[in-house]
């Protein structure tokens, strides 16, 4: 498969830089001299885990999402927003903050672009099994996550409820892959798991 871009970038500017995202505008030109602008939302990426407890129950979070103005049922997830933090360390921090759990085994499932039509965000997805409740004080959740509720349901109910409408994409991907794994028709390749410094590597590969 030809991986070469059908155009080249002749100018890059970043008119907006926020706390979470940066907007990049690339001026592109093809071999025939046609030009155009491509607006890209740069995002540091995120990590998420489908948590399955020792009873086979799926553990999700129900939380308010300001962008859509609704509560959404999701796998536990968080942004790569701590400089130098390794991928799996970031995930364990999120599991501690959102679900108040620790330990267990992390199995890599997949890395995927969440919205490749307009953003370079990559989400690294894992399966977390054998986690245990944190004894004593757990890390404090972000104040913006107030009202978050932990939901523990069987796989079939998780799939039904996560479908929405509309549902959360990363959660549907996680449940779909887990279902294939349970059926024995698919197995994740651990050789594909992201390196510890994956977020920094991805940021370094951006234009300009």
Active site residues: 144
Instruction: Output phi, psi for 160, to 5 deg.
Output: -65, -45
Cα separation of 34 and 81, whole Å?
A: 38
Q: Choose among 152, 149, 148, 125: nearest CA to 53.
A: 152
Mapped onto helix, strand or coil, the DSSP state of residue 57 is coil
Query: Pairing relation of β-strands 105-113 and 122-129?
Result: antiparallel
Mapped onto helix, strand or coil, the DSSP state of residue 25 is strand
Query: Sign of the CA dihedral 13, 18, 22, 23?
Result: negative
Cα separation of 104 and 95, whole Å?
A: 11
């Amino acid at each position: 498969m030809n991986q070469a871009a059908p155009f080249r970038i002749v100018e890059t500017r970043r008119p907006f830089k926020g706390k979470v995202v940066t907007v990049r505008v690339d001026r592109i030109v093809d071999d025939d001299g046609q030009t155009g602008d491509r607006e890209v939302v740069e995002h540091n990426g995120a990590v998420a885990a489908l948590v399955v407890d020792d009873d086979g129950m799926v553990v999700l979070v129900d939380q308010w999402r300001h962008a859509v103005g609704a509560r959404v049922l999701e796998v536990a997830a968080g942004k790569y927003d701590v400089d130098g933090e390794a991928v799996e360390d970031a995930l364990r921090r999120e599991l501690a903050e959102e679900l108040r759990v620790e330990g267990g085994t992390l199995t890599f499932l997949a890395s995927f672009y969440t919205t490749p039509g307009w953003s370079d965000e990559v989400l690294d997805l894992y399966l977390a099994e054998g986690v245990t409740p944190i004894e004593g004080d757990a890390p404090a959740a972000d104040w913006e996550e107030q009202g978050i509720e932990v939901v523990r349901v069987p796989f079939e109910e998780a799939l039904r409820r996560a479908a929405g409408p509309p549902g959360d994409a990363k959660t549907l991907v996680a449940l779909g892959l887990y279902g294939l794994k349970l059926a024995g028709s698919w197995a994740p390749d651990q050789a594909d798991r992201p390196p510890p410094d994956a977020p920094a590597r991805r940021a370094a590969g951006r234009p300009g």
